Amino acid sequence: MFSIEMEKVVEAAERIRRLEVQGATNVAFAAVEALVEQMRYSKARDHASALEEIARAREILFKSRETEPFMRNAIRFIEWRASQSEWDGPESFHELIRGTADNLLEEFRRARQRITEVGSRRIQNGSRILTHCHSSAVSGILRRAKEAGADFEVILTETRPRYQGRITAGEMLEAGIDATMIVDSAIRSFMNRVDLVLVGADAITSEGNVVNKIGTSLVALAAQEARTPLYVASELLKFDPQTIHGEYEAIEERPTDEVWPGAPGGLSIRNPAFDVTRREYIHGIVCEEGLISPHSILEAVRRRYPWILDPSGT
Ligand code: RI2
């Protein structure tokens, strides 16, 4: 459908779609890098066609995974900056894109550092933490806590159907953290032995609800029943501004053969990748503004990243 000129972006979108790049933050980084690369090899010779190319890149990247506002916020920001720039030839245009992306990625790294610091303080010596799926934010917090000398155990779910729990397991073992894997359906059986639940996020809505890997809302239910506090580790950059306007976060449905390859004909299979955990189930969101209540998410985003709500306000 797209010409060979969109090669860099098409390749990146494919890797994202196949989950070779996984986790909202990694997806955002990969999408930004792909856009910068694309514009490095751009054949556009005027401002209008360069912007047209960015718009096509955006379209391809956004389709790779539906539930990824972090990626969308980042790409929209770069696109907006590009649209406001003066055209001074393709090389300086690329420099502008590169510079904007570098500043943005630096901001992402600073956000992550703060999340890691704040979150690690909640990991008590001798405690047991349950996590679901693989979140680089959660892994970062746990690694930091370990470096700070805390001795704790992690219970991790295997996370059907794509088994991202194995990525978490590998990272825990590499960091020397005591880790135990359970099947997803064992969550309730283990919840009474857990001190704290820590999960990542793919999207945060204006009401403070969190969209994360399918099964997270069940983890939250079990945690509430057992009175185990549940924290979400997430950049505010995952806030979806569309939700302010009343839109629901779209939930990606993935191929059914991930659930059962070669399933008998006539059987319907559904494979939603994410679900919504309502804010009532969330004790706090560990973000770049510190540990905040999900109720205050919109104010925090407005304070920290006004450009997410309105790029012309930057
Ligand atoms: P970080 C993952 O989705 C999980 O739902 C995880 O909690 C979330 O992204 C955030 O990951 P998937 O890509 O940004 O495995 O914390 O479908 O890395």
Give dist(CA 107, CA 245) in Å, integer: 26
Nearest Cα neighbor of 144 from 166, 105, 98, 112 is 112
Chain centroid to Cα 227, Å, comes to 27
Per-residue pLDDT of 183-229, as tens digits, reads 999 999 999 999 999 999 999 999 999 999 999 999 999 999 999 99
- Determine the Cα–Cα distance for residues 21 and 291; give it in Å rounded to an integer: 28
Residue-wise over 249-265: b if at least 16 C-beta within 10 A, else e?
bebbebeeeeeeeeeee
Residues with beta carbon inside 6 Å of ligand 1?
22-26, 133-137, 164, 199-202, 212-213, 273
To the query of whether residue 202 is one of the catalytic residues in this protein, the response is yes
Which residue minimizes the CA distance to atom 16 of ligand 1?
A: 135
Can you give the pLDDT at residue 313? 57
pLDDT surpasses 70 at 96: yes
287 is catalytic: no
Structure token digits, residue 65: 């995974």
pLDDT of residue 314: 54
Inform me whether the pLDDT recorded for 1 exceeds 80.
no
Dihedral angle computed from the Cα positions of residues 262, 267, 273 and 274, in that order, rounded to the nearest 10 degrees: -160
pLDDT of residue 276: 98
- pLDDT for 33-90, tens place per residue? 999 999 999 999 999 999 999 999 999 999 999 999 999 999 999 999 999 999 999 9
Cα(35) to ligand 1 centroid in Å equals 21
Q: Cα–Cα distance between 72 and 66 in angstroms, integer? A: 10
pLDDT band at 124 (very low <50, low <70, confident <90, very high): very high
